[in-house]
Structure 1
Amino acid sequence: MDLDEAVGELYGGGLGDFVAVRTRLAKEAGGDLGREIKALRKPTVTAWLLNLFARRSPELLAEVGELGERMRSAQGEGDAAALRDARPERDALVRRVVAATREVAKGEDRQLSPAGEDEVAATVVAALADETSQAALASGMLVRALRYSGFGEVDLDDAVAARARLRVLPGGAAGAGRGEGVETTDEEQTQDPPEPPEPPEAAELRETELRLQTVEAKVDLATSQLAEAEEALARAREAVAQARERLRTQTTQRERLTKEATRLRRACARAARRQ
């Protein structure tokens, strides 16, 4: 057993069994590996569900990677038209991931709360905006949900288990199927010479547009949730109206039967007196 296998078993298993499984794996491994396993933190409910989503929905996860790559490329090139054109696809993709995560929760006898849905949406927005966040989501090792503030990179502190070994699950990377993907390690990497810094105005515009994308995604999700709530309310009102109608019918029938019973009792009494 190595750390990757332990992480896979821990973060792909049941949340209620996390501590017991971690203790067992750490004991089996022993030594330095056992201490590394013991240090792995239990995920939040939303992070746990996202980890299961990453394992169970590789095709949808790959769509997040592909769209994120296109949007980041358009952002880097300052292609505002391409970003606008991608907005409907982005909004639909966020809703689909929220719906898929909700189904994962149902399969685990859990319910994804409205706050949890917001966290899922925010994590998808972060993954679309930031390549390392995309890798974090695809790794299936989240400890907490992600959130993009609109400035610079997404804060991944305490967000990913074994971050030094961050990698994507098979099929989850933007380059899935080509043997590519995002990977970060603590080792020094050979880097190309840095590009000249972009003008402050361009950086400010880019950050503002990304903040706008985050807010728009949240608004679209809230609008979708409101529509669903209104539909549920309409169904509930219809059910109440039908129940009231049944109650009125039953009340009328009861009154009629009561009157009929009274009439029959009186008729029986009169017949008895005549005998």
Structure 2
Amino acid sequence: MTTMQSAKTVLLTGGSAGLGLATLEILLQQGCNVVSMQRTETPELTALAAKYPGVLLISKGDVAVEEDNKAAVDVAMQSFGRLDALILNAGTLHPLGAVSSLSGPRLAELKSLFDVNFFALVAILAHAIPYLRTREGKDGLQEGEPAGRVVLVSSGAATGGTTGWAAYNASKAAMNSLGRTLGNEEKDIVTVSVRPGTPDTVMQQKIRELGAEHMSAADHARFTGLHERGELLPPHEPGGVLAGLALEAPAELSGQFVNWNDEKVLTMQRRA
């Protein structure tokens, strides 16, 4: 029987709903210890914590606050004595708007987006890397296996140019650049940026409800059409890939940006 101390420990941000919650549940089903960090605790997250007492720990906090990021890392180490992976999923789409609109108060909103979508990554990584890169205390780690893994939940926006998404597009491009750099710097940690497709989440709902005011008609119709045709992904499908990468992403993927359904990563998908 796997004990809490010998099981892999994953810290996940944005685990209260949608893709993060689906990924979190799969990790628990795989026998992992999980620390979930988010600002709000949903009934679904509370129910999971009751179902997996002592295995799922909830660290309430704002990823934009450095002390909250450090506190989540500390919870993992103090409770489980090891940190094997990060899944950095928390993010925001706001503010929507063309580049020409992002002045005055809207420029401050753009900076707030970068606090969540980019600077928060740097903050939590700086605290977590010493624990991710060490092999000490990680029972069951195979010879030649990476000591730690980082999964960055990116987006097609990182390489696209969806109208009205100037801030979000830029932040995801910055995320991918950070992942490439980390892959070069930390040879004992595998870092992978993942495009999770279009899962059926609150973000997709916001795009449908608010996007028409800021996006081109063609771009907005592309997203509303996915919903109308029932083509949005169940969150557990890409979530299973995020979980699989956190547990077994190989060194050759480090620094790469991959699609959730690429053949080379889909083989690692864990099923709910």
- Give the TM-score category using the shorter length: under 0.3
Q: Of Structure 1 and Structure 2, which has the larger fraction of its residues in strand?
A: 2
Q: Which has the larger radius of gyration?
A: 1
Q: RCO higher in 1 or 2 (8 Å CA, sep ≥ 6)?
A: 2
TM-score, normalization by structure 1: 0.23
TM-score scaled by length of structure 2 = 0.23
Larger helix proportion, structure 1 or 2?
1
